[in-house]
Amino acid sequence: MSYNTSAVGSGSRNTTRTFEFGRTHVVRPKGKHQATIVWLHGLGDKGSSWSQLLETLPLPNIKWICPTAPTRPVAIFGGFPCTAWFDAGDISEDAPDDLEGLDASAAHVANLLSTEPADIKLGVGGFSMGAATTLYSATCHILGQYGNGNLYPVNLSAIVGLSGWLPCSRTLRNRMERSDEAARRAASLPILLCHGSGDDVVAHKHGEKSAQALSSAGFRNLMFRSYNGLGHYTTPEEMDEVCNWLITRLGLDGPRS
């Protein structure tokens, strides 16, 4: 699936970028379908990598949708093309934000969720750059619109970010303060953030600062979990935490440890 986005340049000239998203992998629920979660992979990865892991989790009531990001030049790799949800010259919450790429990816996620049945709870999760895109989607849901002003169309019930960071963190609080509705949504949206202290790709401090930025902007239902010595990868312990958190927050049928 492709998305066209237009940006107005100097004078009256318009520039258009097209984002061609890769293959989407779906893990069907093994039990009663109660929730659907779009899960976003990290930089240079693909949806199938995570669908294989998610299929093994003891969460029979969740349908997982694992899309693949567009292949595009990425500044952090000197313009070398790879799968990426947006362009990034630096991996941190202080880096310049590629709003056009973020909006296109957030819209792709919302589109994947928009056809789910009305009684199904919806969520977004991700790893690394996928977690950053997940948190951007969460802010779009809270504010009711994308960065370009278009309306955000779906209601999210859970957000999970592993080893990621928060894009647009510098402007979030000011944007939140303009809307009582946004403050109400932020206070109730469940968010789980996990980060390893030994992460040498997205430093632990970036995850911690992102959690602090969300909390100060009014996201009250947020849990930040640190894993001592964990690098830029996931572990069974971390995924167990994700499973238990989702079962509780989404009210799913299933085992609790």
242: part of which helix (H) or strand (E)?
helix 236-250
Residue 88: give the domain boundaries: 25-250
Contact indicator for 200, 171 with CB cutoff of 8 Å: no
Contact indicator for 253, 61 with CB cutoff of 8 Å: yes
20: part of which helix (H) or strand (E)?
strand 14-20
The backbone region for 39, taken as left when phi is positive above 0, alpha when psi lies in -120 to 50, beta otherwise, is beta
Question: Would 32 be classed as within a structural domain?
Answer: yes
Here the CATH number for the domain that contains residue 39 is 3.40.50.1820
- Is it the case that residue 253 has pLDDT exceeding 90? no
- Is it the case that residue 11 has pLDDT exceeding 60? no
- The residues annotated as belonging to the active site are 128, 199, 232
Instruction: Give the pLDDT of residue 89.
Output: 86
Question: Would 6 be classed as within a structural domain?
Answer: no
Q: How many domains does the chain have?
A: 1
Question: Would 63 be classed as within a structural domain?
Answer: yes
Q: From the CA atom positions of the chain, what is the Rg in Å?
A: 17
Question: Would 12 be classed as within a structural domain?
Answer: no
Question: Would 155 be classed as within a structural domain?
Answer: yes
Question: Would 4 be classed as within a structural domain?
Answer: no
Question: Would 5 be classed as within a structural domain?
Answer: no
Confidence of residue 255 (pLDDT cuts 50, 70, 90): low
pLDDT in tens, 228-238: 999 999 999 99
Question: Would 204 be classed as within a structural domain?
Answer: yes
Q: Which of 19-23, 154-158, 178-182 has the lowest mean pLDDT?
A: 178-182
- Distance from CA of residue 24 to its chain's centroid? 16
pLDDT in tens, 203-218: 999 999 999 999 999 9
Helix axes 129-143, 99-113, angle to 10 degrees: 80
pTM of the model: 0.91
